[in-house]
């Protein structure tokens, strides 16, 4: 967070100087002849996350007076959360302008706001390429959809989130991928990206019925067990059910995935199907047709199963991302969407400090079930 804050303020200062001079760095214009950049002055700022070192850019005529960090001002602790929140909330250019006015009492152009927000893209690229662990016991792949305008046309774009649980039992978002069509080729590129960043093995990969993902897993990680995500399975079933029956239906579904073994789970599935088939004929079809990728779930211990069917982790991520979508109904482009998702992810994952309960016991069971791979 401190690095993000320092880089953001530094980039905003650079954008302020661009605006003041009327041209960008290394650009040759008439304005550049009358006034130009003249080095930097180092300054240490105080923030709630520690001291932040920045370099204040200077101009040759000594006319530049930064507004983001005025002269003699060193304490920025009261504004740092607002600066980061401008991006994390998915604000439009107009809304960011209003926010800056509220904080500093001055107006900025839409062009300047765009320059400022674009300068965070290299940090996102660095985050996307960061090294990963060699082995992940469990990986979830989930998708959430947003409205994005491209070439004047508004359409839906999917953001695919790769959520992993590492050897230490800690959760982490290890990948964000925007806007590709689902296919074996796409999923293979995602999994190869994880491999290129250091992942050698995934024990269990949980995902919905994503087009082509099973073939891609077999090609990239042939020893990985593909498990139909129980969270998605429940969600896909309940979308066919009216609100008044949803609680009862959800309780019946719980009898399936909490059954002690596969046979008991299958028997429960048949009972639930028979009970609701007349009223909701489409609801339970996917359980029957996908039982082969649902049933591996039953060979795991109760502690491990709880991680796989508990919705808290995935749903808390989704709800945070949806809050972004509420404040901005349409994103002006893929980059704008990516910036907002990235910063929301940074904010969410910074609070993930605890490992899963009973992780030592779960890890021991995994070591027996997947002998030689941990």
Its pTM stands at: 0.71
Q: Quick check: 341 pLDDT over 90?
A: no
Q: Would you kindly state where each structural domain of the chain is located, as residue ranges? A: 1-119
Name residue 178's beta-bridge partners.
Answer: 159
Question: Which tens digits make up the pLDDT trace of 224-263?
Answer: 998 888 888 888 899 999 999 999 999 999 999 989 999 9
Per-residue b/e over 323-351, b at no fewer than 16 CB within 10 Å? ebbeebeebeebbbbbbbbbbbbbebeee
Distance, in Å, from the CA atom of 59 to the CA atom of 348, rounded to the nearest integer, reads: 39
Tokens of 54: 């920045």
Q: What are the backbone dihedrals phi and psi of residue 92, each rounded to the nearest 5 degrees, phi first?
A: -75, 170
Question: Which phi and psi angles does 111 have, rounded to 5°?
Answer: -65, -40
Q: Which residue has the higher pLDDT, 206 or 113?
A: 206
- Mean pLDDT over 312-329 rounds to 73
For residue 188, the tally of other CB atoms under 10 A from its CB is 18
> pLDDT per residue over 175-234, tens digit each?
999 876 677 888 999 999 999 999 999 999 988 877 788 889 999 999 999 888 888 888
């Amino acid at each position: 967070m401190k690095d993000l804050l320092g880089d953001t303020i530094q980039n905003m200062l650079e954008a302020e100087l661009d605006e003041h001079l009327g041209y960008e760095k290394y650009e040759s214009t008439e304005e550049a002849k009358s006034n130009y950049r003249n080095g930097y002055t180092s300054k240490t700022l105080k923030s709630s996350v520690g001291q932040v070192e920045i370099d204040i850019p200077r101009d040759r005529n000594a006319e530049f007076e930064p507004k983001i960090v005025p002269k003699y001002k060193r304490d920025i602790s009261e504004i740092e959360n607002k600066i980061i929140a401008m991006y994390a909330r998915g604000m439009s250019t107009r809304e960011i302008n209003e926010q800056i006015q509220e904080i500093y009492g001055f107006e900025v152009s839409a062009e300047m706001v765009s320059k400022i927000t674009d300068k965070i893209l290299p940090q996102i690229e660095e985050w996307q390429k960061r090294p990963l662990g060699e082995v992940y016991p469990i990986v979830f792949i989930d998708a959430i959809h947003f409205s994005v305008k491209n070439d004047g046309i508004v359409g839906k774009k999917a953001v695919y989130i790769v959520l992993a649980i590492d050897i230490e039992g800690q959760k982490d978002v290890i990948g964000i991928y925007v806007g590709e069509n689902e296919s074996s080729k796409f999923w293979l590129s995602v999994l190869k990206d994880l491999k290129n960043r250091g992942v050698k093995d995934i024990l269990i990969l949980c995902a919905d019925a994503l087009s082509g993902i099973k073939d891609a897993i077999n090609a990239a990680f042939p020893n990985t067990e593909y498990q139909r995500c129980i969270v998605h399975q429940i969600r896909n079933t309940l979308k066919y059910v009216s609100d008044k029956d949803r609680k009862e239906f959800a309780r019946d579904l719980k009898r399936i995935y909490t059954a002690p073994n596969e046979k008991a789970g299958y028997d429960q599935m048949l009972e639930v199907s028979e009970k609701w088939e007349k009223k909701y004929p489409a609801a339970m079809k996917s359980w029957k047709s996908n039982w082969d990728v649902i049933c591996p779930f039953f060979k795991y211990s109760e502690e491990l199963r709880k991680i796989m069917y508990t919705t808290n982790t995935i749903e808390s991520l989704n709800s945070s991302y949806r809050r972004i979508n509420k404040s901005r109904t349409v994103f002006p482009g893929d980059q704008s969407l990516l910036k907002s998702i990235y910063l929301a992810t940074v904010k969410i994952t910074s609070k993930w400090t605890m490992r899963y309960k009973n992780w030592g016991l779960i890890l021991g069971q995994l070591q027996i079930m997947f002998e030689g791979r941990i």
